[in-house]
Amino acid sequence: MTPEVKDALAVVDARLVELKAAATNDQVRVKLGNLHEVCRVLVVDAAQRPTVPEVVRRYAARFVAREQSLAEQSLRNKRGGANPYAMLYEAWVGAAEFVLAPSRRRSQLHVPGEMLSTDDVAGIDDVPLRHQVGLMLAQNRSFKAQLDILKDVRNAPFLRIEGTTEGGVALRQSLPLASHLTLTETEVEALKDFIDERRMRARGLRDEEDGSVWTMDGRRLSDPGFLEALDKIVRSYDR
């Protein structure tokens, strides 16, 4: 274990002591100790970066007593900087930058677009400052990842849904489509071709007023509303 890693873990341990001392009751202190243990195993033993879902999953598996339970919201809600669980979790996020750095090649330590690399942070002599800078670096990466996700959603195709609520209020909603669910131009044209009335007749099919598809000899092939649904999907791709 390198001196940098030892220092990072010492900072987290000291943070735990501070948070326990400021805790309002024993239950909070116990849960802080539990969270600390879970994060230590995840970061030090399993060599994984802590994420809220993974920490909560491991916590629930390790501590099953109801009075010791810990929800995701307990780690996400900052409460104006007064949430001890979130503060301890963030301390471990920062520590992970140093604990996991030795396991990666030096060329991988610097992320393009960042002003500081993990090596740069490790070179800071002041231990508390080094830990805070490491935490800031980790948070910056997290925010960038969230921003990239939002950009992907914004640029994704949308499926427009129109209708009315039970109270008769008009409803118009646009839902982003996952990329693998987006129809290609060929697929959209195939749907247009299928619902074209003349082409349906050429195939021996006909449509009814309820939007169902029938054969010319009187066999129903779809439920009511089927053709309207296809038509709305096609029109949702009209830009």
What one-letter code names the amino acid at 101?
Answer: A
Mean pLDDT over 95-113 rounds to: 59
Min mean pLDDT across 41-55, 135-149, 202-216 is at 135-149
Question: How many CA atoms, within 13 angstroms, populate the side-chain half-sphere of residue 52?
Answer: 14
Q: Is the pTM of this model over 0.85?
A: no
* Domain range list for the chain: 3-152, 158-236
Quickly list DSSP for 136-181: HHHHHHHHHHHHHHHHHHHHS-EEEEEEE-TT--EEEEEEEPPGGG
Cβ atoms of residues 101 and 2 within 8 Å: no
- pLDDT tens figures, 107-125: 344 445 555 566 666 667 6
CB contact set of 56 (below 8 Å; sequence gap of 6+): 70, 71, 72, 75
Instruction: Among 79-83, 90-94, 99-103, name the most confident range.
Output: 90-94
Cβ atoms of residues 118 and 109 within 8 Å: yes
As to burial, measured by CB atoms within 10 angstroms (0-12 exposed, 13-18 middle, 19+ buried), residue 75 is: buried
Please give the structure tokens belonging to residue 222: 């779809």
CA distance 214 to 18: 74
Of 236, 143, 147, the residue nearest 192 (C-alpha): 236
Beta strands in 1-117 (DSSP E): none
Cβ atoms of residues 19 and 87 within 8 Å: yes
Which pLDDT does position 104 carry in this prediction? Answer: 43
Mean pLDDT over 98-108 rounds to: 57
Cβ atoms of residues 71 and 35 within 8 Å: no
- pLDDT tens figures, 153-180: 555 555 555 555 555 555 555 555 555 5
